[in-house]
Structure 1
Amino acid sequence: MAAFKTLDDLQDISGQRVLVRVDLNVPVKDGKVTDYTRIERVVPTIQELSTKGAKVILMAHFGRPKGKPAEGMSLEPIATAVEQVLDSRVHFAPEAIGEKAAEAISRMVDGDVLLLQNTRFYEGEEKNDPEFAKALAANGDIYVNDAFSAAHRAHASTEGLAHLLPAYAGRTMQAELEALEKGLGQPARPVVAIVGGAKVSTKIDLLQNLVAKVDALVIGGGMANTFLAARGIDVGKSLCEHDLADTARAIDAAARKAGCDIVLPSDGVVAKKFEAGAESEIVAIDAIPADAMVLDVGPRTIEAVKAWITKAHTLVWNGPLGAFEIEPFDKATVEAARHAAARTGEGILVSVAGGGDTVAALNHAGVADDFTYVSTAGGAFLEWMEGKELPGVTALQA
């Protein structure tokens, strides 16, 4: 990974206007934030800059307003939530550029924190319009990007600004990039990837990239059924993309060529209904009843997955092994996650995980805080795993 500047490279910033791109696209219900995780992640950067006397000017998007102001998508209520987490005053500007933004910034004193209005209220944001980027740049002296989750978008506030002002990675961005470098950039081997989820069709690029980079690829969830069916196994009523059999066989062939072991279920937990309290049984993977569906991998498979985690020095995880939302179909994901957490705690394993369902599954297992790094970045994390260039990261590289 190319070098990038961090807050360590910033010297005397007292009185400087620092534009900080953050991710405040948080879930809201009845006007109240229901999950503060993304806000909590950017607190270290905000506090560090504020403590050093900078005028901290936050930029963020919220929802999909399509380039114009939209009801219910103002960042003003989010400013209150940030204020609660920071435990200090957060001012709000009703515009992101122009006179009202300039006026709010002019009233700031050293150490103040100000949140600008939703950057996506402007057409130029998602178009990465040079004039809009210049208007944003007029608000600050320094640019800090602390929103890895938006780094896969070449928008004005995530990419354009980095070419107009001295650009730095915030602490969250820095931690994410360093963790990802350990995960797939220059990992300690053996490297094992666990990829789960419902459909192969959403993760073709991911699988194709991983087989060339890891020593073993564990495939779980509904995705595994597509690979099993491609190998001639009857998966009953299980979720399966039969039309992707050729794709699955091509990924199998690429893995063999690269020397990557693909680990598929050898047994599964099956049920006739996907609901709480449904009767289930453990069967060999080639003995799935015609009227049943696989909803989790079985104990033999769990042991095989844990054995690979034991061998590994690096683990990259995206997607659960089974339908973890309902017991008992959470067993494999929970056992594998706890085993990975234990190996991480012993200092043997670097464990990097990301994706909405993955974070939820690790929280369900009670080990999200025990992994080396858990990314809340969603699409950006997935594109990184796919080996794609992230414009917001590239723009920061020195």
Structure 2
Amino acid sequence: MELLNIKDLDLENKKVFIRCDFNVPMDEHSNISDDRRIRSAIATINYCLDQKCAVILASHLGRPKGEVVEKFSLAPVARRLNHLLKRDVVIAKDVVGEDAIAKAKALKSGEVLLLENLRYEPGETNNDEELSKKLASMAEYYVNDAFGVSHRAHSSVEGITKFFDNKHKAAGFLLSKEIQFFGKIIENPVRPFAAIVGGSKVSGKLEALVNLLPKVDKIFIGGGMAFTFLKQLGYDIGASLVEDDLLGEAQKIMDEAKKLGVKFYLPVDVIAAEKFEADSVIKIVTAQEIPHEWMGLDIGPATVRLYREGLNDVQTVLWNGPMGVYEMDRFARGSSKIANFVADSYATTVVGGGDTADLVQRVGLGEEMTFISTGGGASLELLEGKVLPGVAQLIKE
């Protein structure tokens, strides 16, 4: 899949609208706790500024649901951009209101304007054509560099592209890199190719698992989703998270893996607790014998050893979803140990955004991975074999 290239655009002395993904985590005092998504957009922004462009940046933050909510203001993002770009970043008071339109109109080459939170506008998530038209009217060129929301058919992602022809729109460097990386490892990986798939539910990963099976050599299952497979095998899983309506689908996946010769790994032991609390009593039990009222919240040490052994010869690793409830230290050990092993391997390692990216950053291994995606949901839809709405309009014909 070849995308329209930003370097093919005649940007000099023009206005360019860049859709970014500045949906960053903040603490209770509105301090940005992880600016990776902002830093990831700097290359595209700087490239446009080097072409003597006037740059209009747009992003959402959180889910204000079409209302102006102060805690979701992009003001902290503007301050961080000031620091990273080493130039003033003006923030508009609204999205397509009088202030934003006036500031966009007055913007000169080399200046940067950040619109307020796109989701302050109820039409953004509804892909409202009128909103798309107003956003498009601000600039002569459109660049999508927001991989993390490119699976959403929103006004600033999909709708806006219809107001620019192929000579006036393109993918930014980050979006191009994400699509290129996932395309390469899914279509032409160096083998053996392993997928580590975790997270809480099978339902969220079902299509991805089905699509990955013909492509991988090994699959390692962890997190809450493992218990649906374990229950289908007849194991006692206690009070662990399970999706009873997907037991049949779990069996189909295991049958298909066997048919294709894909090694399918499931936990052999788990860290179980009486309740999901930091001070709960915990113990290591086999995956077949989780006590009646107890729940499995992490993979156990034997599973860590088994998975490490299975990953020893792997040349490409795709990881999407943690191995346990990593947000609580007592149940983060399995994920942490797998992260350290993957980081130390010589394999090409691709982390599929969301919780897995957060986990890898928490344990200080972000720099050790080959590539960390900025989008959890978007990367998952790519793994499902879908063409993302925000990407479809940017494919070179």
Q: Is the 8 A contact 1:321 1:333 kept in 2?
A: yes
User: CA deviation digits over 1:355-374, x for unaligned, max 9?
Assistant: 43212221233212211111
Q: How does 1:230-379 map to 2 (within 5 A)?
A: 230-276=232-278, 278-343=280-345, 346=346, 349-379=347-377
Give distance in 2, aligned partners of 1:266 and 1:339: 19
Report the 3-state secondary structure (helix = DSSP H, G, I; strand = E; otherwise coil) of the residue aligned with 2:342: helix
Specify whether residues 316 and 106 from structure 1 end up closer, same or farther in structure 2 by C-alpha distance, changes over 3 A only.
same
1:117-266 to structure 2, matched below 5 A, reads 117-165=116-164, 166-266=168-268
Distance 1:122 1:323, change over 3 A: closer
Q: Structure 1 regions of 5+ residues with no counterpart?
A: none
Q: Identify the residue that residue 32 of structure 2 maps to in structure 1.
A: 33
Comparing 152-161 with 222-231, greater Cα deviation is found at 152-161
Is residue 58 from structure 1 mapped to residue 57 from structure 2 by the alignment? yes
> What is the TM-score with the length of structure 2 in the denominator?
0.90
Q: What percentage of residue pairs aligned between the two structures are identical?
A: 40
CA distance in 2, matches of 1:46, 1:238: 46
Whether 1:82 and 2:77 are equivalent positions in the alignment is: no
Q: What per-residue deviation string (whole Å, max 9, x for no partner) do you get for residues 26-77 of structure 1?
A: 2343344333222222122112211231111112223334445455444345
CA apart distance, 1:238: 2.5
Q: Is the contact made by 2:352 and 2:372 (CA closer than 8 Å) also made in structure 1?
A: yes
TM value normalised by structure 1: 0.89
Task: Give, in whole Å, the separation in 1 of the partners of 2:128 and 2:293.
Answer: 55
Deviation at 1:172, TM superposition (A): 1.5
- Structure 1 CA distance, aligned partners of 2:270 and 2:21? 39
Corresponding letter in the other structure for 1:325: E
* C-alpha distance in structure 2 between counterparts of 1:98 and 1:324, whole Å: 42
Structure 2, gaps ≥5 residues long: none
Q: Deviations over 1:324-377 (max 9, x none)?
A: 33445333222221111112xx4xx12111243212221233212211111231
Q: Provide the secondary structure at the position in 2 that maps to 1:44.
A: helix
8 Å CA contact 1:55–1:112 kept in 2: the answer is yes
In structure 2, C-alpha distance between the alignment counterparts of 1:94 and 1:293, rounded to whole Å? 48
Query: How does 1:383-394 map onto structure 2 within 5 Å?
Result: 383-394=381-392
Structure 1 pair 342–237 and aligned structure 2 pair: CA distance change class (3 A) = same
In structure 2, what residue type is equivalent to 1:189?
R
Deviates more, 1:106-115 or 1:150-159: 106-115
Aligned CA distance change for structure 1 residues 360 and 133 (closer, same or farther; 3 Å): closer
Compute the RMSD of aligned alpha carbons: 2.4
Counterpart Cα distance in 1 of 2:74 and 2:134: 19
- Greater alpha carbon shift after TM alignment, 200-209 vs 65-74: 65-74
1:10 is matched with: 9
Q: Note the alpha carbon deviations across 1:298-321, whole angstroms, 9 max, x for none.
A: 333222212332222221111111
| Cα pair 1:356 1:376 within 8 Å, conserved | yes
String of CA shifts for 1:145-181, please: whole Å, max 9, x gaps.
1100110111221112223221111121122112212
Q: Tell me the amino acid that sits aligned with residue 316 of structure 2.
A: T
Residue of structure 2 equivalent to 1:46: 45
Of residues 265-274 and 109-118 in structure 1, the stretch that sits farther from structure 2 once superposed is 265-274
Alpha-carbon separation, structure 1, partners of 2:367 and 2:184: 18
Kindly indicate whether the alpha-carbon contact (under 8 Å) linking 1:182 and 1:188 is maintained by their aligned counterparts in 2.
no
What is the CA-CA distance between 1:259 and the residue it aligns to?
Answer: 2.8
- How far apart are residue 191 of structure 1 and its match? 1.6
Determine if contact 1:124/1:156 at 8 Å carries over to the other structure: yes
Contact 2:270 2:299 in 1 (8 A): yes
Which deviates the most, 153-162 or 121-130? 121-130
Q: CA deviation at 1:144?
A: 0.8
Distance 1:365 1:290 in 2: 33
One-letter code of the match for 2:201? K
